[in-house]
Each structure stands twice: as C-alpha cells, then as structure tokens.
Amino acid sequence: MTDAQDWLADFHPKPLHAYLDASVRDFGARPAMDFLGKGWSYAEIGAMVEHMAAGLQAMGIGKGDKVGLCLPNTPYYTVFYFAVLRIGGIVVNFNPLYVERELSFQARDAGVRIMVTLDLKVIYDKVEAVRREGSLDTIIVCPMADILPQPKKLLFSLFKRKERADIPNDAAHPRYGEIARDGATPTAVEIDPETDIAVFQYTGGTTGVPKGAMLTHANLSANLEQLRTIFAAARRGEEKMLCVLPFFHVFAMTVAQNLSVVLGAEMVLLPRFELKMLLDTIKRKKVTLFPGVPTIYTAINNSPVAQGYDLTSIRLCISGGAPLPVEVKEEFEGRTGCILVEGYGLTESSPLVSANPLDENRRSGSIGLAAPGTTIGFRDLEDLTRDAPEGEKGELVVSGPQVMAGYYNRPEETTRTLEGGVLHTGDVGYRDKDGFIYLVDRIKDLILCSGYNVYPRVIEEAIYQHSSVEEVIVIAIPDKYRGQAPKAFVKLREGEELSAEDLKSFLADHLSTIERPREIEFRDSLPKTMVGKLSKKELVEEEEARRASATAG
C-alpha cells in the first residue's frame, strides 16, 4: 500500500465534539481560552457547551438544522460551534464584515433561519435587517459586556452605549443567558462522521458566486489528525495558540480553534488584527503557536514598534492563505527564533492539503509535502483530463479524507470541481524529486505573453527581493503586441523611496525580458481579503474600469 493508504487504514473519524470532550476530561482545570485578559478553563468551556446544547434542543433545533454564526473571535463562537455540532446541527459561518446583501444571500442560500451574533450595533443591525426582510426567523443575541474582564466590562457599560444595539425583548431575539440551561445536559444524538455534515463553509471556490462547501465531521476530523501528525512537536496540554485569524474562515477554524482543542492548548483570542494589541498580547501571554498569513508576519517585520517586544516565546508558526515570500519567512524567523513554515489548503479540503515539516527538512518557497493520507497529482494544462508529464507544471489535484462532500445545492459545480474523483484546485504547480510541492500560480491568473505562460508569483517573488518593497501584486493587462503583459502594484516600506525605472533596472537581473512588468504603480496600500491576504480582484476591476472609461472617452 502507499503511504496515503497506510495512514487511511489507521484513521478512524470522530464527531468533532469528541475532541472537546477529550480535552475537558484530560485538561479540565487548564486554561482553555483568554479573551482580552478574561479566562475560562476547559471544564468551564465544556459546561458552557453542554448547557447551550441543551438550550438549543429546547428551542427545537436538532439534527441537520443550520445555525448561522456571525461572530468575531470570542468565547461565544467556540461555545456555539461545539454546541451546534453536539446536537447534530450544521454550523454555517458568516463574516461579520459582510454587508446586508451578502449576509442575506448566504442565509437564503444555506437555508439558515437562526443566527447567533453580538449585541454590537455594527454587526447586529445588519443581521436584524436580514431578519426583517424575511431571510431569518430568530437572532440569538450574545452580550459583549459579559465576556469582558473588569475594568473593561465597566468601561464598556459606561462609555460604549452608542456601540450597543437597541434590541427588542421578544421571542425573535432570545439572549444567550435565556437559552443556556445551567445544569442541563443535551439528549444524545447519533452522528455518522462519514455522512453527517458539520459545517457549511462559504467560498467563491475556483469559479463563480459564493458556494457552501459541505464539510463532514469526517472531513474535519481527518484534517485534525493530519495536523496533529504535522504538529508532532507541539506539547499537548502546554501550548498557547494565538488566535488572531477569524474563526469564521476555514483556516483559523481548523488550524487555530480546532487544533487548539485537540492539543489542549489555551486559545488566546483577538477579535481583530491590530498590531500593537497583537504585540501586547504575545508579550502578556507568552504565546507559543502562531498561525497567520504573510501580511501579518510582514507587518511585524516592518514595524518599528515591534522592535521593542520580546517575541521569543513563539515556537511554531504555519502560514497559509497566500504565498509566503522567502524574505518574510527568514526575517520573521530571525527576529523570533521560531520555525515558520508555509502550508497550503482550500476551503474545499477542510482546509489543509500540504505543509512543510516543522524541522530542518523544511524548504523555503515550497508548500511542503502532502498531508498524511493525501494524494496530490498534476493535470496537463492543455488537457485537464490527463496527468502532466513527470516534473512538469500542471493543475494541482487532490484526493484525501479531508475533501468536501460537495457544494450545497450546486450539483453542476460539484461535478466540475470534483471531476474524476479528485478536487481540482485551479492552482498550477509541480513536485520536485523529493516530493516537495511548489506552486507557480492560479490558472486564472496566468499571463499569456506572446504565447508564453508568465506566472505573476514568479514576478512578485523577484520584486520582493528589493529591500525597499513591502508588498506587491502583479496582474495581467492588455498589450497590443504581446496580447497580455504584467503590471505590478507596489507598496514600499515606510520611509523608503524607489522609482519605477530603478525597480525595472533591478529586475533586469532577476527576470527574463518577457516577465518584466510593462507598468509599475506605487500605492500607499494594497487591497486585502477578510483574513489579510493580498487580493488581486479589486485591482483587476480597477484596470478594467479604467480601460472602459478610456475607450468611452
């Protein structure tokens, strides 16, 4: 048997809440969570989950019912997540930064009738608007003040009244404390990890409008067991996990929250990324594990404020969501003494597909080795039904126990994405002779210059080698002679100056003629997604609008 088959033979999927039960049993007295200085033990979190699960059952919520979580990183998220799963419900993650239209679309698409959110005006008012237009029946309201430590709780009550929403006292708006049934235990629900859906995780996927990836208990359980193998150096019952990436995103849900539960680690929650708050938290809590995205590590590297902080408690970091520039990795490791490796995944794979080993065998610039039990192949870019020749670039395809059951109510897109029994990622890459995988770019981001494939990531890596550059995005623009050409958008480090001509001269020694950007535009900031990774979409739309305007003129 192959290594993947060997691992699968020993893998026995569990309902996700079984991992919480194990840590409550083994680490009941140990800290489970810190939120802005207020703490809860595993025993306390376990009891809160039990009481909320019983309360949700009393409301009539049962197996297969979908419950929306529109929450930033707070203890409420973890409590509702595991309470819903315990009673056989399905968690549907919502981004609290979404506008009303986006929240409404997702609620209707997923069939969510009940939503959990905070009593903060900035979030609640949007959710309430969705309820009023008929997409929701019930909003469970969680009081922000109740999870704050003193004196923050008092200050919030006194001075943040404008931030608190005006919420009716009626059956459509039950409060957290009205539902949680102290001392009650939920009725046991039989869950088949292989077939029962745990989470709807919405994604744009490889194409099209947002779709709900259906992740089973087995999918997420497999990914946790794979992560446990990769993080073998993590000390069960001893670690502190920095949770700054939002749990409503699949990367943080699995690698920050769920892995913390498996490890019996203390989750150190931050409701948003704010650099000084993050640095103060690392100093206060002596964080040891730090999953992040490249822009967060870059912000720390480039901040003069960070120079005054001791960050050497950090031991292990995994970066995802976007390519990790080698310079960012090496500078962060040098500053902290930690091991920072790049991993790779997708919403449709729960998300982890591959990661570098957390030892001396890790390789800069690579997304590492396939996760245990995972098979990675490459399809010919000219014919995606055929395998690419050995060692050549192709579309990365994945099979493994972490691959989703499909998209909710999207049979055609499910068939297309899982064609041939593998997950088509839309990413282009190759594997070296030692099994390490390298990504080149997204298929849709390829730039076709005079018939040649030009990869934006290659150009971006070259530009990152200039010491004045902090961030860069490369996209395709039309070119009358070549068909398409690269354009680079560049953000410089604070206090640095650089002209387009000087950067082009620098790139002459790093890129072929056809790869060099035709245009370079400097920006004070570059667009980012909700988890902080650089986003091309807005820049592509800007360029299209600019060309349309010029044509019309």
Query: CA-CA distance, 353 to 375, in Å (whole number)?
Result: 9
What pLDDT does residue 443 have? 79
**Domains (ranges, CATH) in the chain?**
3-355 (3.40.50.12780), 446-552 (3.30.300.30)
Amino acid at 378: F
Predicted local confidence at residue 254, as pLDDT: 98
Q: Which residues contact 407 (CB under 8 A, 6 or more apart)?
A: 205, 211, 212, 213, 214, 413, 414, 417
Per-residue model confidence (pLDDT) at position 553: 63
CB-CB contact of 407 with 213 (8 Å): yes
The CA distance from 81 to 53, in Å, is: 10
Contact 290, 242 (CB under 8 A): yes
The amino acid present at 446, given as its one-letter code, is L
pLDDT at 2: 60
Supply angle C-alpha 242, 163, 245, rounded to 5.
Answer: 20
Q: Of the candidates 337, 338, 333, 325, which has an alpha carbon nearest to the alpha carbon of residue 469?
A: 325
Peptide bond between residue 151 and the one before it cis (omega within 30 degrees of 0): yes
pLDDT at 208: 53
What's the CA gap between 139 and 128, in Å, rounded?
A: 8
Question: Each residue's pLDDT tens digit in the chain (553 positions)?
Answer: 467 888 999 999 999 999 999 999 999 999 999 999 999 999 999 999 999 999 999 999 999 999 999 999 999 999 999 999 999 999 999 999 888 988 999 999 999 999 999 999 999 999 999 999 999 999 999 999 999 998 777 666 655 777 899 999 999 999 999 999 888 899 999 999 999 999 999 986 444 578 999 999 999 999 999 999 999 999 999 999 999 999 999 999 999 999 999 999 999 999 999 999 999 999 999 999 999 988 899 899 999 999 999 999 999 999 997 778 888 999 999 999 999 999 999 999 999 999 999 988 999 889 999 999 999 999 998 888 899 988 889 999 999 999 999 999 999 999 999 999 999 999 999 999 999 999 987 778 888 886 677 888 889 989 999 999 999 999 999 887 778 899 999 999 999 999 999 999 999 988 888 899 999 999 999 999 877 888 898 999 998 888 888 777 6
> Contact 100/129 with Cβ under 8 angstroms?
yes
Q: Is 481 exposed, middle or buried (0-12, 13-18, 19+ CB in 10 A)?
A: exposed
* Residues 342, 324: Cα–Cα separation, whole Å: 6
Q: How far is CA 216 from the centre of its chain?
A: 18
| Residue 160, H or E segment | none
Q: Kind and range of the H or E element at 54? A: helix 42-58
Query: How crowded is residue 506: how many other Cβ atoms within 10 Å of its Cβ?
Result: 18
Neighbours of 251 (CB within 10 A): 25
pLDDT at 146: 94
Contact 86, 38 (CB under 8 A): no
**Cα-Cα-Cα-Cα dihedral of 467, 473, 478, 484, to 10°?**
70
Tell me, rounded to whole angstroms, the distance of Cα 279 from its chain centroid.
21
